């Protein structure tokens, strides 16, 4: 089967010091030898402090059908990462983010699926606030729900296989850094 690539849908490839060294089509970058590339994750909270979680569409090439954080993606070449996160919240979840802020700007991870497909990402983590329920793109999201942060954190700490590997790692790091205040309006990646 031939993969059709959108010439504008590129990811930024990185060297070992996380400096840009080129681009690759997003549709072909994830495989058994995935190069290090730039991505992001976002945790969208409602004004009451509940976290939006999603189950990835079963057609996704990586971790299909797995529950995860609110939104993930890849910035385009030259695109600010926070702007990319806001763009994907609009495109994927059809929500308007009111506040996108850095939480874990230096997060990176690797994870390998049972079929050998590997994630290898420098993946800054953002928090955002949005009001109202999402109307997600079904090509991206199979299901969604609002959950309390303690519930999501419990899954990450005690049953990490229930959620995406990056979300399990990120949730534990977010809790270690911010505690329950992670869903508060004044949290930023520059907090002590």
* Residues 50/59, Cβ–Cβ less than 8 Å: no
CB atoms within 10 A of CB 31: 12
Distance CA 66, CA 124 (A): 21
5 assigned to active site: no
CA angle 141, 146, 148 (to 5 degrees): 135
Catalytic residue among 92, 119, 121, 140: 121
Active site residue 72: yes
Exactly one of 72, 92, 119, 183 is catalytic; which is it?
A: 72
* Active site positions, annotated: 72, 121
């Amino acid at each position: 089967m031939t993969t059709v690539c959108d010439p504008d849908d590129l990811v930024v490839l990185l060297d070992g010091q996380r400096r840009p060294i080129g681009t690759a089509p997003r549709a072909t970058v994830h495989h058994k030898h995935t190069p290090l590339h730039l991505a992001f994750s976002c945790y969208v909270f409602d004004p009451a402090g509940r976290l939006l979680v999603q189950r990835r569409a079963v057609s996704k090439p990586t971790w299909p059908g797995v529950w995860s954080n609110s939104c993930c993606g890849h910035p385009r070449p030259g695109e600010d990462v926070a702007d990319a996160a806001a763009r994907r919240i609009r495109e994927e979840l059809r929500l308007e983010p009111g506040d996108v802020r850095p939480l874990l700007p230096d997060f990176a991870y690797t994870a390998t699926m049972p079929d050998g497909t590997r994630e290898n990402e420098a993946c800054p983590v953002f928090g955002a606030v949005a009001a109202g329920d999402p109307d997600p793109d079904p090509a991206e999201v199979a299901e969604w729900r609002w959950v309390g942060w303690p519930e999501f954190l419990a899954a990450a700490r005690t049953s990490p296989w229930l959620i995406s590997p990056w979300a399990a790692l990120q949730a534990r790091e977010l809790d270690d850094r911010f505690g329950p205040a992670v869903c508060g309006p004044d949290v930023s990646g520059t907090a002590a």
